[in-house]
Copies of this chain bind each other. A is one copy, B any other.
Amino acid sequence: MQIGSSGAGVAARRRPPAQRTDYRWFRSIELRWNDVDAFGHVNNAQFYEFFDTTVVRFLSESCDVTGPERLSMVVAENGCRFLREVLFTDVLEMGLRVERIGSSSVRYGLAVFANGAVEASAQGHFVHVFIDPARKRPTPMVPQVRAHLSTISLL
């Protein structure tokens, strides 16, 4: 379903959908039966599981995300625009890019592409703040993380 022409006064939705070429790293996401809600399409909250998982999978290519020396980070902010509904039978690919790198934070852009489409079905952003797990305060990201993030930066 295309809802971009709803005239609903939601200016953000008037921007054209993101394109596959706007992203730098891709990974498939497999849908689960209970991702689908009573409306018969993938529920909005599930897209944030896809975002979270995609970001952690990217970080895990170069950094420890689960072991004793793992990275610690919190999500400071995220958001998503839903452009077309996604069904259980759709085959999904996530696109990822880095939109901004600060000293202790990074803003990612993410998009969901269904069935090989060039235009996104959903697109959003996600801000990670790296923290010192003992003090639970923002801490500068380590050089290895910064270097890895830079490989998919827009700039």
The secondary structure that dominates the A interface is mixed
Residues of B within 8 Å of A85, CB to CB, are 74, 136
Q: For chain A, give the interface size range.
A: 35 or more
A150 proximal to B (CB < 8 A) = no
- Counted per complex, copies of this chain come to 4
Contact A32 B6 (CB under 8 A): no
Please name all residues of chain B whose beta carbon is closer than 8 Å to the beta carbon of A22 when the two chains form the complex: none
Say yes or no: is A62 at the interface (Cβ < 8 Å to chain B).
Answer: no
Neighbouring B residues of A7 by C-beta, 8 Å? 102-104, 138
Distance A81 CA – B100 CA, assembled complex (angstroms): 17
5 A-B residue pairings within 8 Å (CB atoms): A8-B105, A12-B77, A28-B30, A76-B82, A78-B79
